[in-house]
């Protein structure tokens, strides 16, 4: 399980968004690839699904990911 600083000044959803952003920008999760599912992220981080929704919304607002209905959340290919 990845660690979250629950006592720190940065909310957990922002910490998760930052980690996913780092993984996307480093190419660990490349464009067109699905990010881990909510179930996988719940297991990885040990947080509520609402926290994960907030984290993924941050990435959507930044234009890094998009939801494909029935398929999941995918990294946007910004090279186009």
> By the 8 A CB rule, do 32 and 78 touch?
no
Architecture of domain 12-75: Orthogonal Bundle (1.10)
pTM of the model: 0.91
Give the separation between CA 44 and CA 67, rounded to whole angstroms.
20
Which tens digits make up the pLDDT trace of 11-53?
999 999 999 999 999 999 999 999 999 999 999 999 999 999 9
In whole angstroms, what separates CA 34 from the centre of its chain?
A: 10
What's the burial of 65, exposed, middle or buried (CB within 10 Å: 0-12/13-18/19+)?
A: buried
- Per residue in 59-74, pLDDT (tens digit) is 999 999 999 999 999 9
β-bridge mates for residue 65, sequence order: 75
**What are the extents of the domains in the chain?**
12-75
- Please say whether the beta carbons of 28 and 75 come within 8 A: no
């Amino acid at each position: 399980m990845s660690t979250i600083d629950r006592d720190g000044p940065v909310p957990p959803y922002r910490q998760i968004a930052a980690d996913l952003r780092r993984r996307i920008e480093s190419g660990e999760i490349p464009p067109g690839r699905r990010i881990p599912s909510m179930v996988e992220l719940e297991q990885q981080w040990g947080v509520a699904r609402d926290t994960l929704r907030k984290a993924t919304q941050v990435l959507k607002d930044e234009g890094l990911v998009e939801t494909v209905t029935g398929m999941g959340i995918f990294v946007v290919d910004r090279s186009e």
